[in-house]
Amino acid sequence: MTKPQWNNGLVRWIDDRMPIFTLMHHELVDYPTPKNFNYWWNFGSLAGIVLVIMIVTGIFLAMSYTPHVDYAFESVERIVRDVNYGWLLRYLHMNGGSIFFIVVYIHLFRGLYYGSYKAPRELLWILGVLIIIVMMATAFMGYVLPWGQMSFWAATVITNLFSAVPVFGEAIVTWLWGGFSVDNPTLNRFFSFHYLLPFVLFALVFLHLWALHVHKSNNPLGIDVKGPQDTIPFSPYYTIKDLFGLGVLMVFYLFFVFFAPDFFGEPDNYIKADPLVTPTHIVPEWYFLPYYAILRAIPDKLGGVVAMFGSILILLILPWLDRSKVRSARFRPIYKQFFWILVVDCFVLGWIGAKPPEGIYITIGRIATAYYFLHFLVIIPLISMVERPKPLPESISTAVTKGGAAVKEAT
Amino acid sequence: MARLTLIAAALVVAAGTATAAEAPKAPSHDWGFQGIFGSYDRAALRRGYQVYAEVCAGCHSLRLVAYRNLMEIGFTEDEVTEIASEFEVLDGPDDEGEMFTRPAKAADYFVPPFPNDNAARFANNGSLPPDLSLITKARKGGPDYLYALLTGYREEPPEGFQMMDGMVYNDYFPGHQISMPQPLFEDMVEYADGTPATVDQMSEDVTVFLAWAGSPELEARKSLGIKVLLFTIVLTAMLYALKRRIWADVH
Amino acid sequence: MTDTATTAAQASGPDETRRDFLLMATSAVGAVGVALACWPFIDSMNPSADVLALSSTGVDLSAIEEGQSITVVWRGKPVFIRHRTPEEIETAGAAPMDDLIDPQADTDRVLKPEWLIMIGICTHLGCIPLGQKVGDPRGDFDGWFCPCHGSHYDTSGRIRKGPAPRNMAIPPYEFTDETTIKIG
């Protein structure tokens, strides 16, 4: 990689003093990228773009939002009814949350399938898990802001989780609330954090990218890049592929925004918060349902809370639970099956999270929860000991030429 | 004391809803405002407003809608001024520091029938008639549910069904016991356009009106949505073609 | 840099033009899309429907004595209403046009000479001039005086001295009856 020459005088002047253009050229244009990405590799950049959309729509929404228990609900409705294009901003933001989670969950499971968490990318993976945790906190607090019934009761239930902490539980919850129930101080601080955390996310994403660019991307074969014949420059190949993926995502996203804006929402959140009446059926947003199922599966308060947080924190140690040197599930016949079982398990947990905690649902929820932890704590380490991986291809380029591209080769 | 009654009232409501486990799903109705090209039927909106104003507004507020909003659905400025001026709103303080009432203006929001929730509960045997501004969005089933509820009253509960005092039986209300007596009866209103005011017709009209009250942006949203989606699809197709082109030499 | 990259760059003639055209067309459509997408964000900062709806204010003038002023709020801005004395009307009418920074006849600034109704904002940088209250400094021309940068206004609210470029603005208003006005 040579240093690029800049034609524009101003660019050259700046670059001589602070080589930001050279840096960007190296990281976004020249950047050698494995040539064999499939479309699952689009979701990282998509997540970054959705984050930007969320920040921008959020900043403009904040201009018309009032974080006060007496006005929050009305101010959100005022945004939809009276602010110019306010409905568009609100629905972009509201549905953007769901889209963000869809994209990030796919990105996460792509990492699981192709072993992207393995050495030397453990820190990259850990940063990713931190991003999800901060995202969840941001989403939760954002959901409270419209101050509907679901907002209020989600805030009450989730903050009460901390009362499970031995000895200090009550004090912590009172501190979180800034009072003796979820009330105006709670709403104000949630707004403050909801505005702050996306920028923390942005910083984490930057670190995530930094870590990525040190050892470069994993790829569907999970084998290391052997030389320049295995890679192509990021631009124009992956910029155009990412842009095309963005277009597809936008069609999907905008369909909900314009034609089914309340698809992901709960009707109860169009009722203003009432501290004296709990809705008959409290359910979190869909992206929290699996955790909610895990919480309810454990009959003990503290145990439930620990399991719920544990279910996401366990991902932090995954690089050390999985001892297999082979990354991609393509070459791991047993792991591949269990990966799909885990996917099914997560959907089951999500389904149970939406059901009332009674009868058969409790049993299914417990089995699914037990399996979830079993997968990470027992099955993964066991597989990595007993599994005989399939032979790995010599390099990315030989695999590509031998594989599906054989026909193309003729041209 | 007031607080105690409030809590008691809330408990009654909570108890009412707690027994509410299942309610039959409202049958789906063909609404003109659904679907990608959906829009509100102007005549139905006007009739629906009349039903709301003459019947529902006796107990139910519509506090997120302003009189000026009626201009969006075909009322003229004079009509709106006239409608608004029939209501009194509290204003002030005046130069002497006193609060006073004045006729409502177009910019004012629909004047609620009761000054506050407690007064509303007091006048309605302890149950609070919900605000209707978002009613079609705030209930599972939306407009279908509202229509089914309005037309789902039965004079006698099915045999063996225990009714609480002051409740009426409704096929679609969760738990079947609703404290709102049947609101609509044949020929209760006289439509200016001569449409026969059957219970079905009035229920349908008021549902359309309340759907508009809940989503006044719907028409603007859908018409912009079609353009934006078409644009995005075209752009995506072009990006795909470009992607194919650029990737043609990679193997 | 790699084989593939060089082949991509040196693609054959017709292909190259087609790609260039496609690239330009797609870039243009994309740029238009991004530009259009900015508009809702910008427009969301314009006055909203409820703000625009509150744009008229009624004022009862009957209680204002001659020589008295009141300030009312219209669209969030102070509106000065002054019941002018005959002397004030006299001096306002007598001011020679040549002396005015922003020449305008007094009669063009009022509907009824005894009532001067204007937006009480200095046209320099938006401060509220003094002169409404009895003890206020009223400047060299006995009208209003802006304390921020020393603009002097006369009894017709016209700028006479100081940095302000224009006379204080007259809001749209009408007399709904003898003693009531509707601003906006």
Concatenating the DSSP letter of every residue in C106-127 gives GGGS-SSTTEEEEE---TTTS-
- The pLDDT, as a whole number, for residue B166 is 84
CB contact (8 A) between residue B240 and residue A77: no
Give me the mean pLDDT over the A342-361 stretch.
Answer: 94
Instruction: Flag whether pLDDT at C44 surpasses 60.
Output: yes
pLDDT recorded at residue C165? 93
**Pairwise CA distance, residues A148 & A274, whole Å:** 8
Helices A234-259, A86-113: axis angle to 10 degrees equals: 130
Residue C5 pLDDT greater than 80, yes or no: no
Which spans in A161-288 are helix H? 169-177, 184-215, 234-259
Mean pLDDT score, B192-201 = 94
Average pLDDT over residues A239-254: 97
Q: How far apart are alpha carbons A321 and A382 in whole angstroms? A: 9
Range of the domain at C8: 1-46
- CATH at C64: 2.102.10.10
**pLDDT at residue B216 greater than cutoff 60:** yes
pLDDT at C56: 76
In a shared domain, residues C112 and C161 = yes
C130 and C113 together in one domain: yes
B192: left (phi over 0), alpha (psi -120 to 50) or beta: alpha
**Which of the two residues, B93 and A288, has the higher pLDDT score?**
A288
DSSP assignment of chain B equals -HHHHHHHHHHHHHHHHHTT---PPPPP---TT-STT----HHHHHHHHHHHHHTGGGT---TT-BGGGGGGGT--HHHHHHHHHTSEEEE---TTS--EEEE--TTSB---SSSSHHHHHHHTTT-PPPP-TTTTTSSTTHHHHHHHHHT-EESSPPTTPPPPTT-EEESSSTTSEESSPP---TTSS--TT-----HHHHHHHHHHHHHHHH-TTHHHHHHHHHHHHHHHHHHHHHHHHHHHHHHTT--
| A182 and A227 housed in the same domain | yes
The set of catalytic residues of C is 149
Tokens, residue A120: 């030397």
Considering only alpha carbons, which residue of chain B is nearest residue C5? B250
CB-based contact (8 Å) between B125 and chain A? Answer: no
pTM reported for the whole predicted model: 0.89
Domain boundary among C11, C28, C46: C46
Does A250 fall in a domain? yes
A304 band by pLDDT with thresholds 50, 70 and 90? very high
Q: What is the pLDDT of residue C135?
A: 85
pLDDT at B11: 41
Residues A305 and A226 in one domain: no
Quote the pLDDT of residue A289: 96
C37 and C99: one domain?
A: no
Radius of gyration of chain B (CA): 23
If asked whether residues C7 and C85 sit together in one domain, one would say no
- Fill in the amino acid letter for C36: L
Let me know whether A295 and A274 are in one domain.
no
Q: Is A27 among the catalytic positions?
A: no
What dihedral do alpha carbons A255, A257, A261, A263 form, nearest 10°? 50
A154 domain residue, yes or no:
yes
Residue C104 DSSP symbol = -
Q: Closest residue of B to C28, CA-based? A: B235
What total of structural domains would you count in chain C?
Answer: 2
> What CATH number is given to the structural domain containing A214?
1.20.810.10
Higher pLDDT, A312 or A398: A312
Nearest to B242 among C4, C22, C63 (CB): C22
Chain A with chain C: Cβ pairs closer than 8 A:
51
Question: CB neighbours of B228 closer than 8 A, spacing ≥ 6?
Answer: A254, A258
Together in a domain, C32 and C95:
no
- Domain end, chosen from A247, A278, A309, is at A278
* Cβ contacts from A onto B, under 8 A: 97
CB A84 within 8 A of CB C46: yes
Q: Are residues C33 and C61 in the same domain?
A: no
Distance CA A150, CA A166 (A): 28
Residue A43 in any domain: the answer is yes
User: Is A384 among the catalytic positions?
Assistant: no
Q: Do the Cβ atoms of A84 and C40 come within 8 Å?
A: yes
Question: Same structural domain for residues C3 and C85?
Answer: no
pLDDT tops 80 at residue C14: no
| pLDDT single digits (tens) B27-62 | 999 999 999 999 999 999 999 999 999 999 999 999
* pLDDT of the residue at C17: 67
Q: Give A201's contacts (C-beta < 8 A, 6+ positions apart).
A: A51, A131, A134, A135, A138
Same-domain check for residues C30 and C96: no
Asked if pLDDT for residue B14 goes beyond 60, the answer is no
Q: Are residues A257 and A350 in the same domain?
A: no
Best residue in B145, B217, B218, B222 to probe A by mutation, most A CBs within 10 Å?
B217
Query: How much is the pLDDT for A400?
Result: 74
User: What's the confidence (pLDDT) of residue C99?
Assistant: 84
CA–CA separation, B143 and B98 (whole Å): 44
Q: What is the pLDDT of residue A4?
A: 83
Percent of the residues in chain B that have a pLDDT greater than 90, as a whole number: 75
- Please tell me whether residues A101 and A248 are part of one structural domain: yes
Comparing CB atoms, the residue among B95, B242, B251 nearest residue C23 is B242
Q: Do B174 and A280 touch (CB under 8 A)?
A: yes
Q: What is the pLDDT of residues C144-177, one digit of tens each?
A: 999 999 999 999 999 999 999 999 999 999 998 8
Least confident of A55-64, A190-199, B139-148, C89-98: C89-98
Phi, psi of C153 (to 5 degrees): -115, 150
Domains annotated on chain B, with CATH: 27-65+127-239 (1.10.760.10)
Tokens found for residue C19? 């790609």
Which residues of chain C have a Cβ shorter than 8 Å from any chain A Cβ?
Answer: 1-5, 30, 39-41, 43-46, 48-51
Q: How far is A202 from chain C (nearest CA, A)?
A: 21
Residues A206 and B121: their CA atoms lie apart, in Å, by 55
**In a shared domain, residues A314 and A273:** no
Q: Do A77 and B133 touch (CB under 8 A)?
A: yes
Q: Are residues A214 and A126 in the same domain?
A: yes
Q: Are C110 and C155 found together in one domain?
A: yes
**Residue A216 sits in the same domain as residue A299:** no
In the sheet that holds C151-153, the strands lie side by side as C144-146, C151-153, C159-161
CB contact under 8 A, C33 and B231: yes
Query: Which residue, among A39, A254, A266, would best test binding to B if mutated, counting the most B CBs under 10 Å from its CB?
Result: A254
Picking from A158-167, B101-110, B158-167, which range would have the lowest pLDDT averaged per residue?
B158-167
Pair (A310, A273) in one structural domain: no
- Give the pLDDT of residue B218: 97
The pairing of strands B177-178 and C57-60 is unpaired
The C-alpha atoms of residue B204 and residue B143 are separated, in whole angstroms, by 9
**Average pLDDT of the residues in A106-116:** 98
- Judged against a pLDDT cut of 70, whether residue A25 lies above it is answered with yes
Report the mean per-residue pLDDT for chain C.
Answer: 86
Q: Hey, which of B24-33, B99-108, B215-224 has the most confident mean pLDDT?
A: B215-224
C-alpha distances (whole Å) from B43 to each of B33, B77, B204, B209 are 13, 17, 12, 10
Q: Measured between CA atoms, how close is A274 to chain C, in angstroms? A: 26
Residues C140 and C163 in one domain: yes
A232 with C2: Cβ contact below 8 A? yes
Q: Which of A278, A304, A338 is the last residue of a domain?
A: A278
Per the model's pLDDT, the better-predicted residue between C61 and A145 turns out to be: A145
Supply the DSSP string of A275-296, one letter for each residue: TT---SS----GGGHHHHHHHH
CB contact under 8 A, B224 and A258: yes
Complex-level ipTM: 0.92
Owning domain of residue A339: 283-411
In whole angstroms, give the CA distance from residue A134 to residue A139: 9
> What is the pairing mode between strands B88-91 and B100-103?
antiparallel
Asked whether residue A229 falls in the same domain as residue A80, the answer is yes
Q: C59: pLDDT confidence band, cut at 50, 70 and 90?
A: confident
Q: Inform me whether the pLDDT recorded for B236 exceeds 60.
A: yes
Residue that is written with structure tokens 């369909």 in the block: A255
* C159 in Cβ contact with C166 (< 8 Å): yes
| Chain C residues with beta carbon closer than 8 angstroms to that of B238 | 22, 25-26, 29
Q: What is the CATH number of the domain that holds A406?
A: 1.10.287.980
Name residue B29's amino acid.
H
CA–CA separation, A346 vs A340, rounded Å?
10
The confidence band for A36, taking pLDDT boundaries of 50, 70 and 90, is: very high
- Per residue in A57-79, pLDDT tens? 999 999 999 999 999 999 999 99
Tens digit of pLDDT for each residue in A364-386?
999 999 999 999 999 999 999 99
Number of domains present in the structure of chain A? 2
Q: Say if CB C137 and CB C145 are below 8 A apart.
A: yes
Q: Note whether C72 and C114 are same-domain residues.
A: yes
Nearest chain C residue (CA) to A75: C50
* pLDDT recorded at residue C16: 62
Q: How many CB atoms lie within 10 A of CB B82?
A: 12
Do C81 and C107 fall into the same domain? yes
Amino acid at the residue A124: L
Name which of C55, C60, C184 is nearest C115 in CA terms. C60
- The partner residue sitting opposite A63, judged by closest CB among C2, C3, C45, is C45
Same domain, A162 and A85: yes
Give me the residue from A87, A267, A400 closest to B138, CB to CB. Answer: A267
Question: Residue A302 CA to chain centroid, in angstroms?
Answer: 26
**Residue C74's pLDDT band (cuts 50, 70, 90):** confident
Which amino acid, B143?
P
In chain A, the percentage of residues whose pLDDT exceeds 90 is 92
A288, part of any domain: yes
